[in-house]
Amino acid sequence: MAAAALLAAIVLACLLAPLYAADIAGTDPFASNLDGTITLAGQPVEIMQSAATGFGVTPIGPTWHAQYFLGADDQGRDVAARLLYGGRTSLLIAAGATLICLSGAALVGVIAGFAGGIVDTILARALDILWAFPVYLLAISLSAVLISHGLQLGPVSINADSLLIPIAIIGIVYIPYVARPIRGQVIGLAQSDFVLAARCLGIPRPRILLRDILPNIATTLIVFAPLMLALNMLTEAALSFLTIGVQPPAASWGTIILDGEGLLYTRPMVAIAPGIAIALTVVALNFLGDGIREAFDPRAKLRINK
Amino acid sequence: MIALVLLRRLGEMVFVLFSISVLVFLIFFATPGADPAARLAGRGASPATLAAVRHAFGLDRPLPVQYALMMRHLFITQDLTSFVNPGQRVVPALLQAVPVTLSLVLGAAVIWLVLAVLVGVTAAACRDTIVDRALMFLSLLGVSIPVFWLGEVANLITQARFHDTWAFSWVPALGYVPLTQDPLGWFKSLVIPWLVLAVTYVGLYARILRANLVDAMTEDYIRTARAKGLSERQIILRHALRMSLITIVSMFGLDFGALVGGGALLIEVVSSLPGVGMLTYQALQNLDLPFIMAAVLYGAVFIVAANTAVDMLYTLLDPRTRPTR
C-alpha cells in the first residue's frame, strides 16, 4: 500500500510538472541561465558563481527555497524543475516501452503457442536467438544506429531525437523475456480440458482464443507489468547515461545524472537527486510487483533477468 | 551418446552465432532511413571518408556480399578500422582491453557469489522474522539502484568527501593498474568497482536463493531429512542449498558471460577502467558504428560460447538435463 501511494505521488508530481514546475522555479528549466541572479534572504545571488580560485564558474548549490531548490546544473538550469520534467520523460518512456513489450510478447507468445507447427518452431527459434543476444548489446546497436540518422520506413519517419526511439527499443528488446513464458502457458492452455471441450463442441478457434486463452494470459501480463516498468526505468536511465537514450534538449533522470557527472565533486546534488528518484520509483514498482504476483499467483516462478 | 548431445549443442551454438551476426549486420547496414555509409562514417564525415566506407564494406554490392566482407574484416583479417579515428584498428584495441574487464568481473563475481549465498541462506533460515525482512528489503534496494549512479556516489565518498579520512585514504585515483605490474595496486584500484558491480547481483541472487530455499523446505526429501533427525542447519546447508545452487550456477554462467561480453560498461565508465565497455562507450560518444558493431559481435560471440560451455558442463554433470528419447 505504501509502495502504491509513493508511486502515485511520484507519478502525479512528474506528470503534472508542466502545470506548475516552471512557475515555482521562476525560470525555464530547458533554457540556460548563465547570467541570472536570484534573491536569497534579501541579497542578490549569482546563479553561476565565480570559483574561489578565479578559474571557471560553479553553479549555485541547493538553496532549499522555491527557486533552485536543488541548485543549478552547469547551464544554470533549475535542477529540481528539471527533475520533475525528467521524471515525466522517464515515466512516459517506461510506460510506453512496457505497453509495447507486453502487447508484442502477448502477440508473439499467443501466435506461437496457439498456431503450433512450423509457425511455432520459427517463432520459438527466433525468441531463443534473441534470448541469447544480451539485452544491452541489442539496445546499444539499435540506439546507436537510430540516433545517428533517425528512421525512415516508408511513410513513417522518426527523427533521431524522438522519444519514440528509446520507447520502441526498450520495448522490443525485452519481448523475449515475456513472450517465452506466455508461449509456454498458451501451449499448456491449448491442451487443457476446457479448451479440448470447447473444440469438441465445435466452437471456432478465434472464439476459443478470445474467450478461453486470452483471459488466462491477462493475469500473466498484469503480473509482469510492474516488473517490466521497473526494468524499463533502469534501462532508460542506463541508455540515457550512455548518451544513446533521451537526446537533449529533452531531459530524463538518466540524462540529468549524466549532466551531474562533471559537477560530481562540486555540486553532487545534480547527480544524486535523480538517482534517488529512480531508486524510489523502482523500489516502489518492485514492491508493487511482488504484491501483485503474490495476489495473483502465489506459486509463480517468474524470473526477470536484469 | 553423450558425444552426440554435445555435438548438437555445438551445432546449435554455430546456428545462434550465425543468426546473431546476421541480425547485427542488418541493424547496422540495412536499417531504413539513411545511407549506411553516412551512418558508418560517423557524424559530419567528408565525401572522401564516405567513399572509403563504401569501398571498405562493398556497399554498392548485394547484401550477402556485404555481410561476407564485414565478417572477413571482423574475424579473419581483423583489419576493421574506425572512420572516426582514422587508422585505429578496432579488433586489436578490443582484445587489448579484455584483461581489464576480466579483472573487474572476476573479482565482483567472487564477492557477489559469497555475499548472495550468505544473505540468501541467512534470510531463508530466519524466514518471516525481522532479519529476513531487512535482508530482503536491502536486496530489493540492491536491484533497484542504477549501478552507474551507485558508482558515482562511491566515487564521491571515496575520492572526494571522505578521501582524507582513515577509511578511504588508501583508495587510489580512478583508473586501472595491471596485475602483472603491481598486484597490490591492481587490487586497490578495483576494490570499489568490484563492490559497486556486485551490489545488483547480490540483491538478485539473494532474492532468488531465498525463494528457492523456502520452496525446497516443503519438498519430500527435506521431510525425510527432518525425519532422520538432522538439525535445521544441516538440512539447509546439506540438502536444500545443494539443490538451489543449481539455479544459481546456471544464472551465474549467463550473467558472467553477459558482463564480460560488455555488460560491465556502465561501471567501467564511472570508474574510468579502460575495459571493453569503456571502449564501447567512447565509440558511442562519437557514434563510431564500426567500432560498436565489432564490440557487439565480439561480446555476443563470447557470451554465446560461455553459455554453450555452461550447458555442456551441465550435460556432463547432471544426467537429468540430457534429452531423453
In this complex, the residue of B152, B254, B287 whose CB is nearest that of residue A148 is: B287
pLDDT at position A306 is 34
Distance, CA of B193 to CA of A243 (rounded, Å): 21
Contacts of A242 in chain B (CB under 8 A): 265-266, 269, 281, 284
Contacts of A154 in chain B (CB under 8 A): 32
Please answer yes or no on whether B265 and A261 come within 8 Å at the CB atom: no
Give how far Cα B244 sits from Cα of A282, A293, B175, B248, B283, Å: 27, 21, 37, 7, 40
Closest approach of B15 to chain A, Cα-based (Å)? 9
pLDDT at position A298 is 54
Q: What is the DSSP letter of B160?
A: I
In this complex, the residue of A134, A152, A238 whose CB is nearest that of residue B261 is: A134
Q: What is the DSSP letter of B240?
A: I
- Cβ A146 vs Cβ B285: under 8 Å: no
Instruction: List chain B residues with pLDDT less than 70.
Output: 1, 33-34, 42-44, 87, 317-325
Q: What is the DSSP letter of B129?
A: S
How much is the pTM? Answer: 0.86
DSSP H or E stretch at residue A57: strand A57-59
Supply φ then ψ for residue A59, to 5 degrees. Answer: -65, 160
pLDDT at position A233 is 92
- Let me know if A236 is exposed, middle or buried by CB neighbors in 10 A (0-12, 13-18, 19+): buried
pLDDT at position A90 is 92
Share in percent of chain A as helix, strand, coil (round to 5): 65, 5, 30
227-266 in chain A: CB under 8 A from chain B:
230, 234, 237-238, 241-244, 254, 257, 260-261, 264-265
pLDDT at position B320 is 64
Q: Residue A46 pairs with which residues in a beta bridge?
A: A37
- Cβ A181 vs Cβ A220: under 8 Å: yes
pLDDT at position B199 is 92
Q: Which of helix, strand or coil describes residue A153?
A: strand
Q: Which residues of A168-195 are buried (b: 16+ CB within 10 A; e: fewer)?
A: bbbbbbbbbbbbbbbbebbbebbeeeeb
B311: Cα within 13 Å, side-chain hemisphere: 20
pLDDT per position as a tens digit, B31-62: 776 677 777 776 667 777 777 777 777 777 78
Distance, CA of B114 to CA of B116 (rounded, Å): 6
pLDDT per position as a tens digit, B76-98: 777 777 777 776 788 888 888 88
For the record, the C-alpha cell of A224 comes out as 509482469
Tens digits of pLDDT across chain A (306 residues): 778 888 888 888 777 777 776 777 677 777 777 777 777 766 777 777 776 665 667 777 777 776 777 777 777 778 788 888 888 889 999 999 999 999 999 999 888 888 878 888 888 888 888 877 778 888 888 888 887 777 776 667 777 777 888 898 899 889 988 898 888 888 888 888 888 888 888 888 888 888 888 888 888 898 889 999 999 999 999 999 988 888 888 888 988 988 888 877 778 888 888 999 999 999 999 888 888 887 876 555 444 433
Distance, CA of A248 to CA of A241 (rounded, Å): 12
Closest approach of A118 to chain B, Cα-based (Å)? 18
Q: Is the dihedral of CA A169, A170, A171, A176 positive or negative?
A: positive
Q: Any CB–CB contact under 8 A between A172 and chain B? A: no
Best residue in A241, A259, A301 for a mutation probing chain B (most B CBs within 10 Å): A241
pLDDT at position B116 is 92
pLDDT at position A302 is 46
Distance, CA of A243 to CA of A165 (rounded, Å): 13
Contacts of A243 in chain B (CB under 8 A): 284-285
pLDDT at position B319 is 63
Q: Which residues of A240-269 are buried (b: 16+ CB within 10 A; e: fewer)?
A: bbbbbbbbeebbbbbbbbbbbeebbeebbb
Q: What is the DSSP letter of B320?
A: G
pLDDT at position A58 is 76
pLDDT at position A237 is 92
Distance, CA of A198 to CA of A94 (rounded, Å): 38
